[in-house]
Structure 1
Amino acid sequence: MLAIPQPGGFSFYKPGAIINATDTGYLRITTLLINNQPYADSIMPEFIKRLELPHDQNNIIIEYAAMDWVYPAKTKYRYLVEGIPGQDTWMPNDEARLNFAGLQPGKYVLHVRAMNNSGNWSNELVLPIIIRSPFWKTAWFIALLAALILFSGWQLFRYRVAQVKKLHSMRNNISRNLHDDIGASLSNIGILNELAKRNLKTNDQKANEYLERAAEDIQHISDNLGDIVWNINPLFDNINNLFIRMKRYAADMAEGKNILCSFDLPESADLNMPMDKRRDFYLLFKEAVNNMVKHSFAKNAWIIIELTSSHLTLEIRDDGKGFEESLVKEGNGLFNMQQRAQQLKGKLTIQSAAGKGTSLLFRMPV
């Protein structure tokens, strides 16, 4: 080391410390911007070894420099990017600045080198860049979506099959009702008509009896056909129409037996009841009213219907002769009512005592 006197001191010279112009400077990243904002981890960007970003942070600006203290203005740069077509071979970039706008999700590798004025290349700067896919483009999400579509399609198929089966069942029920009930009534009408003809000249009273019974069967057929048409008509799905029909039926039946019938029904209800439930509930009600009219010998009857968000309750009371509760499960259509109550997943209770009238209570979920 040599000491050279200078005004006010010495300058020290070390021959081995002279910079060799053939050496290249250290290449490093000086600036890193993501969406025109400094990268959160870029306080010292030269130490970043890997860049992984979400899909919406895909605009990247990178500035770099070689620490060449001899002829920095003559430093030349080149780069290539693995993963970008057209930029995957070495290309000059003397501005020492790269702008990647709108990078698609994927993996990229940036390579940069610098050459000094002597034609010597620097170390190679390598920076892996990963742009993550949005979740809706990931394999797991696509698989989940495909599974959901398949499941939805399967459920739709099952629903349509169930609807077809339901329609088929409804047609079978209508056909069975027409065949069993109406068919039997029509056969009976034919027999009664023939009997009336035979007795028309010899016994007018007997002939009239046969004709009256035939007229009753005709009315029965008419009522049943009306019930079938009403039940399958979607215009009557709203439960208010059911209440109106129930009130009309009970009033007509009670009037025929001089029974004063009082009603307490919901004024308005916004609820659609499925056809099968509506049919079973109405038939249970008709059976109960028929029993009351035919067997109670009552002077007064009360019909109360309550509807809540979860349950429908029907109560029918009379002040008739009543019956012993030990006979509740026998005759008078009570077995049929219990069967319909089970189909509706409801609970039917009947309380009665000789001389004290009868009370029927039915409660079902809606």
Structure 2
Amino acid sequence: MQKIENADQTNGIVIDRIIIYKFNSINVDANGNGLASTSQKVYRIHTGNDGNTKILTDKTFIPSGIRILQSIPQGINSIIYSKTDGLYQFENNKAIKLTNIDKFVSSRIIDISYTSDSTLVLATDGDGILLMKNNSVQHHLTTENGLPSQLCRKVRHMNDTLLVCTNKGLAFFTYRNNSYSYIGVYSENNGLPSNEVKDVSYDDKNYYVVTGYGLAVVPKSLKLNNLKIPDFYITEVRNYKDEKINFNNIKLSNKNNFLKVKFTAVTFNQQEDVIYQYKFNHNPEWSSTKLTELIFPDLSSGNHTLQIRAKKGDSAWSKTEVLKFQVAYPFYLTWWFVLLSLVLIISAVWMLITYLSRRKNRQLMLLMEKRSALNHERNRISADMHDDVGSDLSKISISIDFSKRNLNDDDPVYTQLEKVSGYAYAARKKMDDIIWALNPENDNVANLVAYLNKYGLDYFSDTSITFRLINEIPSEFNLIFNAKQRRNIFLIVKELCTNTFKHSGATNFTITFKMNHNHLIINTYDDGKGFLNDQSALRGNGLKNIRKRASEINCTMKMESSPGQGTQYQFLFKNIDFS
């Protein structure tokens, strides 16, 4: 606190001669202590025990920015004040904006006061009156609650009565125990020189009302103006042809969804003071209008409800008139059309699924028939080869053996017959391979592994190489190969056996079959001398044939070899068919 310089006292009146700004608010209690503010500063008013009054600058409160409109003390070290951008509380050297009123108020707060029960009263320049406790809005008084206007100037307190100065008269409300009720209004109808009420004071007998056209002294005995509720009616309803229709049972088509509603409030004077409000369907807020008709040019389909009411000046609202009407749905939104459409769609989907299922079954049957015919033909060919060609080769071998009995070992003919016998035996072995490849009973992986194991053991039986075939495929994977796949796998293994025997110098040769998800992997490994990868071209046509056969059956081949580390091949068959 600091005493203002150049302030002097004449006949008990303290005058501040320094301040160049006008004071906009002052609040002094019964002890002569209070608060006064200009648009830029706040001052403390203090009256000592000696009866002298001082005007002191409050340095603890230094606002900045937007100018102060009103201020009022709240306790010892707290101030409530308003600016053009809202309401603030200054406490503990810190200004805090009270944002909980923002949803109620968009205009300026131009007056702040307290009731006898410490309710904070805010008068706004366009949003009515707010009653607050503990920084929370308890009530919001507007024209719907009896205010003649929401442009308020001042609020004064007379015991349990609120006197609200507006631009359309002086309104009276009782406020007690956190509840309020509307009493009435003084306006030009009661004899005020103007409805523009700027301030009011009172004594035991009179109200002293400051208006835009002068000061009026109003006896408290003067009856408050509480206007009669006007009689309100809906007069007519018209359609898109501007024809009157019976509004007790209104039904519109979806194409002619236009409606005009006319209404009126019966009053014999000051018709311009009549205000109408309406709510459409489930809108929670009332909309105000001065017009006496409402037009709905493009109504949506369905049931609609229109509520309308009226008031004159500060009278209560009339009885709400309710108008119900219906707009028909277009045929494609009616329940029977939607139900029929659903039935047709479900039927069409069912027919399509049935057709596709039957077509798939027919295709599957045709495929099975083709496979069955192919398997039958393969069986016939393999049987014919075994019976006819195999029989002829056996006869040749028997004839050669019979002819050799009559010849000496050094006879050139004997040597020639030995060669022919070898050719016949080799032809018989190749024919057996072909018959095995043709036989559809060998299309599964178990028979393939068994045949390859037999072939490998026979091939390396008279060599120093130990052959092993490991089958790690679970029994539940019943892999099926076609004849081309099975024959190429066999020829690849056959070629690898030949390369291992001729070139590797290995002592062990291992083949492993295993599954990784639905991918078949065949790994081969020999522990021979190996070779550099860039020397693979020097190993003849065998490796080229292996690559070619692998590509023919969509198999990915990978080879790894290095000197002294042996040679490893991996063959990957992706997405193998199994049942």
Structure 2-normalised TM-score? 0.35
Q: Is the counterpart of residue 315 in structure 1 residue 523 in structure 2?
A: yes
Q: In the superposition, relative to structure 1, how do residues 186 and 328 fare at CA in structure 2: closer, same or farther (>3 Å)? A: farther
Contact map agreement 2:522 2:570 (CA 8 A) in 1: yes
Check conservation: 1:254, 1:293, Cα contact below 8 A. no
Is residue 133 of structure 2 the alignment partner of residue 133 of structure 1? no
Cross-structure match for 1:338: 547
2:470 is the counterpart of 1:259: no
Distance (whole Å) between structure 2 residues aligned to residue 45 and residue 336 of structure 1: 92
Counterpart amino acid of 1:255? Answer: S
Aligned mates of 1:183, 1:308 — CA distance in 2: 43
Counterpart residue number, 1:154: 359
Name 2:474's counterpart in structure 1: 268
CA deviation after TM superposition for structure 1 residue 228, in Å: 4.3
- For residues 174-213 of structure 1, the aligned pairs below 5 Å read 189-204=394-409, 206=415, 211=421
Would you say the 8 A contact 1:350–1:359 is kept in 2?
yes
Deviation at 1:345, TM superposition (A): 0.9
The one-letter amino acid paired with 2:486 is R
Aligned to 1:113: none
Shift of 1:201: 0.6
For 2:502 and 2:383, how far apart are their aligned partners in 1? 27
* CA distance, structure 2, for counterparts of residue 312 and residue 160 of structure 1: 28
Query: Which residue identity is paired with 2:526?
Result: D
Report whether the alignment pairs 1:362 with 2:560: no
Distance across 1 between alignment mates of 2:380 and 2:549: 19
The letter for the 2-side match of 1:271 is F
- Tell me the residue number matched to 1:279: 486
Number of residue pairs matched by the alignment: 253
CA contact (8 A) 2:557 2:570 kept: yes
Tell me the percent identity.
Answer: 16
Structure-2 change in CA distance of 1:211 and 1:50 (3 Å) = same
Q: Higher helix share goes to which structure? A: 1
- 2:512 aligned counterpart, secondary structure: strand
How do 1:210-229 residues align onto structure 2 when only pairs under 5 Å count?
A: 211=421, 214-215=424-425, 217-218=427-428, 221-222=431-432, 224-226=434-436, 228-229=438-439
Equivalent residue in structure 2 for 1:325, among 532, 536, 540: 536
Verify the 8 A CA contact 2:523 2:570 in the aligned structure 1: yes
- The residue aligned with 1:35 is none
For residues 320-365 of structure 1, the C-alpha deviation after alignment (integer angstroms, 9 at most, x for no partner) is: 46675214561x4x55533431232112244567887543321121
Residue pairs, 1:1-366, within 5 angstroms: 47-48=325-326, 50=328, 130=336, 132-133=338-339, 136-138=342-344, 140-170=345-375, 189-204=394-409, 206=415, 211=421, 214-215=424-425, 217-218=427-428, 221-222=431-432, 224-226=434-436, 228-229=438-439, 231-232=440-441, 237=444, 239-240=445-446, 242-266=448-472, 268-276=474-482, 279-280=486-487, 282-292=489-499, 294-296=501-503, 297-320=505-528, 324-328=535-539, 330=541, 332=542, 334=543, 336-350=545-559, 357-365=566-574, 366=576
Structure 2 CA distance, aligned partners of 1:45 and 1:263?
Answer: 92
Cα distance in 2 between the residues matched to 1:179 and 1:348: 36
Letter in 1 for 2:490: L
* 1:184-204 deviation digits (Å, cap 9, x = unpaired): 766555545444444331235
CA distance in 1 between partners of 2:433 and 2:536 (Å): 31
CA displacement at 1:172 relative to structure 2: 5.5
Structure with the bigger percentage of strand: 2
In 1, Cα distance between the equivalents of 2:569 and 2:389? 30
Summarize the Cα distance change of 1:172–1:226 in structure 2 as closer, same or farther, 3 Å threshold.
Answer: closer
Given that residues 467 and 508 in structure 2 are in contact (C-alpha distance below 8 angstroms), is that contact kept between their aligned partners in structure 1? yes
1:143-175 deviation digits (Å, cap 9, x = unpaired): 343333333333333333333344445556666
Write the letter of the residue equivalent to 2:536: E
Displacement after TM superposition at 1:308 (Å): 0.2
SS of the aligned residue for 1:347 comes to: strand
Contact 1:193 1:214 in 2 (8 A): no
Structure 1 residues 211 and 258, CA gap change in structure 2 (3 angstroms): same
Contact preservation (8 Å) 1:304, 1:314: yes
C-alpha spacing 1:285/1:153, structure 2 compared with 1 (3 Å): same
Letter in 2 for 1:311: H
Q: Residues 239-277 of structure 1: CA distance to partner in whole angstroms, max 9, x if unpaired? A: 455445444443343334232234444162532322307
Asked which structure has the greater RCO (Cα within 8 Å, sep 6+), the reply is: 1
State the Cα RMSD in Å: 4.7
Match of residue 276 from structure 2: none
Structure 1 residues 241 and 188: alpha-carbon distance in aligned structure 2, compared to 1, 3 A threshold: closer
Shift of 1:48: 4.7
Q: Equivalents in 2 of 1:281, 1:182: separation in Å?
A: 25
Q: Label 1:137 to 1:264 Cα distance change in 2 as closer, same or farther (>3 A).
A: same
- Alpha-carbon separation, structure 2, partners of 1:183 and 1:342: 34
8 Å CA contact 1:306, 1:312 repeated in 2: yes
Partner Cα separation in structure 1 for residue 395 and residue 548 of structure 2: 32
Give distance in 2, aligned partners of 1:350 and 1:328. Answer: 13
Deviation, 1:215, is: 4.7
Letter in 1 for 2:516: T
Kept in 2, the 8 Å contact 1:192–1:213? The answer is no
1: CA distance between counterparts of 2:323 and 2:562?
96
Whether the 8 Å CA contact 2:522–2:572 is kept in 1: the answer is yes
CA separation in 1, counterparts of 2:248 and 2:447? 86
2:461 aligns to what SS in structure 1?
helix
Structure 2: which 5+ residue stretches go unaligned?
Answer: 1-246, 251-301, 306-321
Shift of 1:218: 4.2
Aligned counterparts of 1:352 and 1:182: Cα–Cα separation in 2: 45
Larger Rg belongs to: 2
